[in-house]
C-alpha cells in the first residue's frame, strides 16, 4: 500500500482533487451532504456520522449549463456552483443543505432543488440581523433541520453526540487560528496560497481527518527552515470568499497575504460554540454572532434615535482593529465578486473604517473568471505602489 503524503503536500493533493476522498468514504457507506455556505451548522452532520462537503465555485470551469437556469448578470459564484452541479461534477452527494445567506444564493438554491435530484434537500432560513428576537426564530430553524436530518439518517440526534461534535469542531476552529498565528512573523511562515489549499482541503473531508491534517501542517510549518520571502507589503484581503489559488497567487506576487478575512479563510473559524447548556441555542448564537459576514445587519440599539456613524462602523468592523494590528497589516484589498450586493453595500463603510485606523485600502471588483485576473493584477500592483 502506498503511504499517503502528509501536511502541506496532502492539503495540496486534496485541493487538486477534492471529490477523491469523499468518494472513498461514500463507497464505505457514509452519507455525503453538500452545503454552499459557512452558515450551515456542520456539528449536526458530524453528530449523525455524515460527511459535510463544502461546494465551491470553480474559476477554471467555464459556465455553460447554468445559463439555462440563471441570467448572466447574476452572482458568478452561484452560477459556477450550479453549473458544476448540473454537469454532474458532484453526483456523489447524497443530500444538500441550502442556506439563505443572500438573495442570489436563496434563488439559486430554489433552482438547484428543481434541477438536481438529491435524496435529501433542506433549505435553512437565516435571519439578517442580530436583534434579540431573531435567536428564537433561528433556533426554530435549526430544530427543523434537526428533524429532517434525523429522518434522513434514520436515527435521533442525541445530545451527547451533538456535544461531542461541537467539541471536535471547536478543536478545528482552534487549530485554524493556530495556523493563522504562523502568518504573524515577518516574513510569515506560511503563504496565503498554502492557506487556501489547507482550508479548502479541511472543508472537503470529515472533521477528525481535517483536524489531523491541520495538526500535521502546523507541525511542518513550524519545523521548516523558511517560509515565503518577505515582500514589500503585508496584506489583508476582505470580501465574500477567496478560495482559489489562482487569485491568491496573483495577490501574493508582490505582497505577503497574512489575513484572508473571507469565508475561504479565517472567518468561519473565529470563536467557539459553547459545549454545555442548551446546545441548539448555543449553535444559533454562534452562527449569527461570530461569523462576520456582510449579510448580517448589526443595527443600533432599540430606542436610539440618533445615528452615530463612528459607532456604527465600530459595531460592524471593530473586530478588525486588533487583527490588523497584531498581524502588522500594511494595506487591505477589498475584493468584491461582481453582483455581490451584501459586500458591495459594505465597501464604503469598510473603507472609512480602515482609514480611521490608519490602514490604506483599495476596492477591486472582478467577475470570477480567468479572463478577469489580468486587470485584477494591474489594480493590485497599482495599489501596492502607493503603500509606503
pLDDT tens, residue by residue, 253-307:
999 999 999 999 999 999 999 999 999 999 999 999 999 988 888 765 656 656 7
CA of 316: how far to CAs of 132, 313, 352, in Å? Answer: 17, 5, 12
Distance CA(166)–CA(146), nearest Å, equals: 15
pTM > 0.75: yes
Distance CA(45)–CA(155), nearest Å, equals: 12
pLDDT at residue 299, as a whole number: 64
Residue 56: helix, strand or coil by DSSP?
coil
| Contact by Cβ (8 Å): 95, 110 | no
pLDDT at residue 73, as a whole number: 92
How do 234-239 and 32-35 pair as beta strands?
unpaired
Distance CA(248)–CA(292), nearest Å, equals: 21
pLDDT at residue 132, as a whole number: 84
pLDDT in tens, the chain (388 residues): 445 789 999 999 999 999 999 999 999 999 999 999 999 999 999 999 999 999 999 999 999 999 999 999 999 999 999 999 999 999 999 999 999 989 999 999 999 999 998 999 999 999 988 888 899 999 999 999 999 999 999 999 999 999 999 999 999 999 999 999 999 999 999 999 999 999 999 999 999 999 999 999 999 999 997 889 999 899 999 999 999 999 999 999 999 999 999 999 999 999 999 999 999 999 999 999 999 988 888 765 656 656 788 888 888 899 999 999 999 999 999 999 999 999 999 999 999 999 999 999 999 999 999 999 999 999 999 999 999 7
pLDDT tens, residue by residue, 17-65:
999 999 999 999 999 999 999 999 999 999 999 999 999 999 999 999 9
In sequence order, which ranges of the chain are alpha helices (DSSP H)?
A: 7-16, 19-27, 42-47, 76-86, 103-115, 134-153, 159-181, 192-202, 207-223, 245-251, 279-289, 309-317, 319-326, 341-356, 373-384
Domains of the chain listed by start with CATH number: 7-158 (3.40.50.11890), 163-384 (3.40.50.11900)
| Contact by Cβ (8 Å): 43, 334 | no
CA of 266: how far to CAs of 135, 289, 325, in Å? Answer: 24, 15, 16
pLDDT at residue 388, as a whole number: 73
Q: Which helix (H) or strand (E) holds 257?
A: strand 256-261
Adjacency order of strands within the sheet including 120-124: 51-54, 32-35, 95-99, 120-124
Adjacency order of strands within the sheet including 256-261: 256-261, 234-239, 331-337, 361-366
Residue 132: helix, strand or coil by DSSP?
coil
Amino acid at each position: 500500500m502506498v503511504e499517503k503524503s502528509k501536511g502541506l503536500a496532502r492539503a495540496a493533493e486534496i485541493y487538486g482533487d477534492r471529490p477523491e476522498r469523499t468518494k472513498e468514504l461514500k463507497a464505505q457507506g457514509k452519507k455525503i451532504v453538500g452545503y454552499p455556505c459557512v452558515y450551515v451548522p456542520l456539528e449536526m452532520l458530524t453528530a449523525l456520522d455524515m460527511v459535510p462537503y463544502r461546494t465551491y465555485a470553480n474559476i477554471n470551469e467555464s459556465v455553460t449549463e447554468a445559463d439555462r437556469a440563471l441570467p448572466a448578470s447574476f452572482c458568478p459564484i452561484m452560477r459556477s456552483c450550479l453549473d458544476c452541479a448540473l454537469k454532474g461534477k458532484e453526483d456523489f452527494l447524497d443530500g444538500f443543505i441550502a442556506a439563505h445567506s443572500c438573495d442570489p444564493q436563496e434563488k439559486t438554491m430554489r433552482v438547484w432543488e428543481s434541477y438536481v435530484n438529491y435524496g435529501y434537500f433542506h433549505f435553512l432560513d437565516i435571519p439578517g440581523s442580530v436583534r434579540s428576537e431573531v435567536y428564537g426564530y433561528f433556533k426554530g430553524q435549526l430544530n427543523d433541520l434537526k428533524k429532517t436530518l434525523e429522518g434522513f439518517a434514520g436515527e435521533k440526534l442525541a445530545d451527547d453526540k451533538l456535544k461531542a461534535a461541537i467539541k471536535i469542531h471547536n478543536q478545528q476552529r482552534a487549530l485554524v487560528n493556530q495556523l493563522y498565528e504562523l502568518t504573524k512573523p515577518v516574513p510569515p511562515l506560511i503563504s496565503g496560497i498554502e492557506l487556501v489549499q489547507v482550508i479548502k482541503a479541511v472543508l472537503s473531508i470529515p472533521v477528525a481527518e481535517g483536524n489531523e491534517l491541520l495538526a500535521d501542517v502546523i507541525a511542518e510549518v513550524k519545523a521548516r527552515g523558511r517560509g515565503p520571502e518577505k515582500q514589500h507589503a503585508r496584506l489583508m484581503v476582505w470580501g465574500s470568499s477567496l478560495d482559489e489559488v489562482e487569485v491568491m497567487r496573483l495577490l501574493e506576487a508582490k505582497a505577503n497575504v497574512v489575513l484572508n478575512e473571507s469565508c475561504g479563510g479565517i472567518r468561519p473559524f473565529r470563536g467557539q460554540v459553547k459545549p454545555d447548556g442548551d446546545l441548539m441555542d448555543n449553535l444559533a448564537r454562534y452562527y449569527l454572532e461570530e461569523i462576520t459576514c456582510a449579510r448580517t445587519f448589526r443595527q443600533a440599539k432599540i430606542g436610539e434615535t440618533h445615528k452615530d456613524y463612528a459607532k456604527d462602523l465600530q459595531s460592524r468592523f471593530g473586530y478588525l482593529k486588533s487583527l490588523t494590528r497584531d498581524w502588522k497589516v500594511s494595506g487591505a484589498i477589498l475584493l468584491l465578486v461582481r453582483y455581490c450586493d451584501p459586500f458591495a453595500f459594505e465597501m464604503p463603510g469598510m473603507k472609512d473604517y480602515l482609514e480611521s485606523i490608519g490602514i490604506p485600502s483599495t476596492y477591486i471588483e472582478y467577475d470570477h473568471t480567468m479572463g478577469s485576473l489580468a486587470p485584477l493584477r494591474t489594480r493590485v500592483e497599482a495599489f501596492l505602489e502607493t503603500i509606503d
